[in-house]
A and B are shown apart, each in its own frame.
Chain A
Amino acid sequence: MLFLENVWYRSIIRGVTLKIEQGITAIIGPNGAGKTTLLRIIARIIKPDKGKVKVPERIGASWQNPYYSFYKTTVREEVKFALRMAKKSTNEEHYLKKFGLIDLADLSPFRLSAGEARILSILLALIWDPDLLLIDEPTTGLDIYEKRKLITVLRQLNKPIIIASHDIDFVLEVADKVAVMNNGTLIAYGDTLDIFYSNVLETIGFPKPVAVLLGEALGERVRSVEECLHKYF
């Protein structure tokens, strides 16, 4: 699906080798670790100085500020426009309902909340049927309810997704695999639970998510506090 081999870019990406198959993969790390740059290299927006980049033809992306992807006066118009460009004859209602945006259909996309704008931006990035979806920092500005909605939307999608995020609680809940970056290098890659329940996060200076603290105390590998909720509280 995606293969990066010994990719170098200035002093921002240093010798990253990464192979990603299906599922939801998260790239985590501190600000400045190179997460966004790596996504840009995958999207072929940036050309690396060295190394091989083998990525699918069609790549959809929802970048850091979702409001930059909007051009029309209503959400409905926006989806219709995207359908026209993708030369699809499906009714926009289908997509609006699927992504929970039907109640917002007649609002201006610029007036949506951060969470709603993010979901719309993801919908628009998917309408043209790309082979891979990239999302950069999806949880910026989202409150806990919007995050929950986003997790639901992402889980329903049947597409390989790569998410760059520093929101470790969110990543723990939604990702199948996690790649950890620091200072431009990939320091770990594996199953989410393996990564979070090891000391990798400590090495990059991240505190452990609340769910992990609980999980370790209880001797179970949980992904969220809600998982322990029923059993122990």
Chain B
Amino acid sequence: MALIELKNVYYKYPGMSKWILKGINLKISHGKILIAGSTGSGKTTLLRVITGLIPEIYGGELSGSVNRNCTIGFVPQNFDAFILMPRVRDEIVFVLENKRLSKREIECKVKYIAEMLDISHLLDRDVSTLSMGERQRVAIASVLALEPEVLVFDEPLAYLDPRSSRRFIELLEDLNLKSIVIAEHRLDQVVEFMDRVIVIKNGEIIADGEPFEALSKAPPDVPKPTYVKFGFRSLEEMVNYAISGKRLV
């Protein structure tokens, strides 16, 4: 049984005449999934439907069926406003306070989550003194405290430098969740770690499957890793081809 299933979903925001999502059919059951698409393609809207923010927070007209059989955590692109408490420790504890846990259990969990995200040294700091990368890890920590089975990210690499991006991807590997869904358009570093790519354009899913297959099928205006644009499965392949090509020239 799929963890999340969308059947023939159509959606438009309140007061708009245009459908943002058209006939979305999607099953998520495992693995690391990338939702690729240019700005305005409906990526963020799709994530909002998956997590339930649509229609709960955003309203609008949603038709079709959305079935969820798991707990879902979501880290939005703007994770700064997502952090609700002034200190890092408070943020993680706030979420844990809502469960029936003893003081000791909460203390343990805070330590565990902080270590996993490498923010143990930041626990007593004010959020406003942290860099973007650190704030993102705090936002992720607060969502992990909910113990979701599926974690959804909206453009997680937006504010990260190449080094932090790499660390972020490594973190995803370590998290060991049932499934992870990421919407991104900065694809060079990410694609090789994904199990599946869903390409969305103008509110419709135009490709869904193995990363290289799905991306090469997509039209040129869809963001792709550089090597895929030129028909290669990996960066290495492209570089090797260039070297061999040069030898011939």
Contacts and interface: CB of A to CB of B under 8 A. Distances in A.
Interface residues of B, number: 33
Contacts, number: 71
B185 A143 contact: yes
B242 A218 contact: yes
B107 to A, nearest CB: 28
Given A32-B133, A210-B235, A232-B242, A144 B223 contact: yes
Interface stretch (A16-24, A91-99, A201-209): A201-209
B164 interface: yes
Given A140-B159, A143-B185, A207 B39 contact: no
Contacts of A210: 188, 226-227, 235
A140 B158 contact: yes
A45 interface: no
B164 A30 contact: yes
Nearest to A165: B161
A31 B249 contact: no
Contact of A31 (B132, B188, B239): B132
A225 B164 contact: no
Counting chain A CB atoms within 10 Å of each CB, the highest count among B155, B160, B162 belongs to B162
Interface residues of A, number: 28
Contacts of A113: 39-40
Counting chain A CB atoms within 10 Å of each CB, the highest count among B39, B155, B160, B164 belongs to B39
Contacts of A145: 221
A217 interface: yes
A79 interface: no
A166 interface: yes
Interface of B: 38-40, 131-134, 155, 158-164, 166, 185, 188-189, 221, 223, 226-227, 230, 235, 238-240, 242-243, 245-246, 249
